[in-house]
């Protein structure tokens, strides 16, 4: 199985680790850590370099937080945050993904050589799908999100979660195919934490193989999500106060479980630990039964 992207054909015969580079002041996990004028860009460059040393296969750069309640970022601000980091990352010899929903940002980063558009809106913003369809080879990740970041956890989904998520993702992929985008350019993401309850997030993990039915590779993004804190803390109150660094082990566990249930890519903050865990998972299948 190959994921066709702008500059790379990424083999998904083995699971791939996408390292997160948040160039934002307000992301839920590491907001502000790699963002500030001047020195913040250097920190983001160094973070890209370190993630590759840790074993990341893909870098995913984002300039707008999608945490619940996050306010929208103006176009010029997002461009100012993202473009310098993309310019650095595309020189590192690995696939570069950009996490954005804005068509103008998509066009700008693709012009710089970015390989993948990773869109939490699944290209539903006006003209977004047209930007991707007009590109000859870029990869795209389509994610399911209930409502929007400002309201998704105020009124999350109700009832069965797998069927509507599957129908949405299959539908968005079909619409993109109808615009001329080849199937091997498309990856799907069920959107863990994006408008789902804790129970629904874990239902998506337990029944994840059902999401493989449309035939596209699946990306799982469990890293440091609050659902992990909810099941590992003693109460929801303590989960809300749990330091995100305490979510590393649960995050790695969720990534391995997602891969074991068919995900071909995992988007993570803790790259080194996830890579090590997946090597253990892979070794188990190399032993003759």
State the alpha helices, DSSP H only, in the chain.
39-54, 75-89, 103-111, 128-134, 162-178, 198-206, 226-232, 236-241, 248-260, 271-286
Quick check: is 225 catalytic?
Answer: yes
- Angle value at C-alpha 74, between 79 and 19, nearest 5 degrees: 50
Q: Per the residue annotation, which of 16, 196, 261, 267 is the catalytic one?
A: 267
Nearest to 5 by CA among 139, 117, 98: 139
Contact 118, 139 (CB under 8 A): no
In the predicted model, what is the mean pLDDT of the chain?
90
CA 47/CA 203 separation, integer angstroms: 33
Q: What is the pLDDT of residue 39?
A: 54
Q: What is the pLDDT of residue 28?
A: 47
Is-above-0.85 flag for pTM?
A: yes
Q: Is 278 helix (H, G, I), strand (E, B) or coil?
A: helix
Contact 100, 119 (CB under 8 A): yes
Quick check: is 267 catalytic?
Answer: yes
Q: Per the residue annotation, which of 172, 225, 247, 264 is the catalytic one?
A: 225
CA 258/CA 270 separation, integer angstroms: 15
pLDDT along the chain (289 residues), means of 10: 97 97 67 51 91 98 82 92 96 98 98 98 97 98 87 79 98 98 98 95 98 98 92 66 76 97 97 98 80
Residues 199-252 have pLDDT tens digits of 999 999 999 999 999 999 999 999 999 899 889 875 555 655 556 677 899 999
Q: What is the pLDDT of residue 26?
A: 45
CATH class as words, domain 2-280: alpha beta
Token look-up 């995900």 returns: 263
| Residue spans per domain, the chain | 2-280
């Amino acid at each position: 199985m190959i994921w066709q992207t702008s500059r790379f054909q990424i083999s998904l015969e083995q699971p791939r680790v996408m390292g997160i580079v948040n160039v934002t002041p307000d992301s839920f996990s590491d907001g502000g850590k790699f963002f500030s004028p001047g020195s913040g860009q250097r920190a983001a460059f160094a973070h890209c370099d370190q993630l590759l040393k840790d074993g990341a296969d893909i870098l995913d750069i984002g300039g707008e937080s999608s945490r619940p309640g996050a306010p929208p970022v103006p176009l010029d601000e997002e461009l100012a945050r993202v473009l310098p980091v993309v310019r650095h990352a595309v020189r590192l010899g690995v696939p570069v993904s950009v996490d954005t929903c804005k068509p103008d940002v998509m066009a700008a980063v693709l012009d710089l050589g970015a390989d993948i558009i990773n869109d939490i809106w699944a290209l539903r913003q006006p003209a977004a799908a047209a930007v991707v369809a007009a590109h000859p080879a870029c990869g795209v990740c389509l994610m399911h999100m209930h409502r929007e970041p400002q309201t998704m956890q105020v009124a999350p989904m109700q009832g069965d979660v797998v069927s509507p998520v599957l129908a949405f993702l299959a539908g968005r992929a079909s619409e993109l195919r109808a615009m001329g985008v080849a199937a091997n350019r498309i990856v799907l993401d069920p959107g863990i934490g994006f408008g789902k309850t804790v129970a629904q997030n874990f239902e998506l993990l337990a029944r994840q193989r059902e999401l493989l039915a449309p035939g596209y590779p699946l990306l799982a993004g469990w890293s440091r999500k609050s659902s992990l804190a909810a099941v590992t803390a003693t109460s929801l109150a303590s989960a809300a106060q749990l330091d995100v660094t305490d979510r590393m082990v649960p995050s790695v566990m969720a990534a391995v479980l997602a891969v074991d249930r068919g995900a071909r890519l995992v988007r993570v903050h803790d790259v080194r630990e996830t890579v090590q865990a997946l090597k253990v998972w892979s070794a188990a299948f190399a032993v003759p039964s």
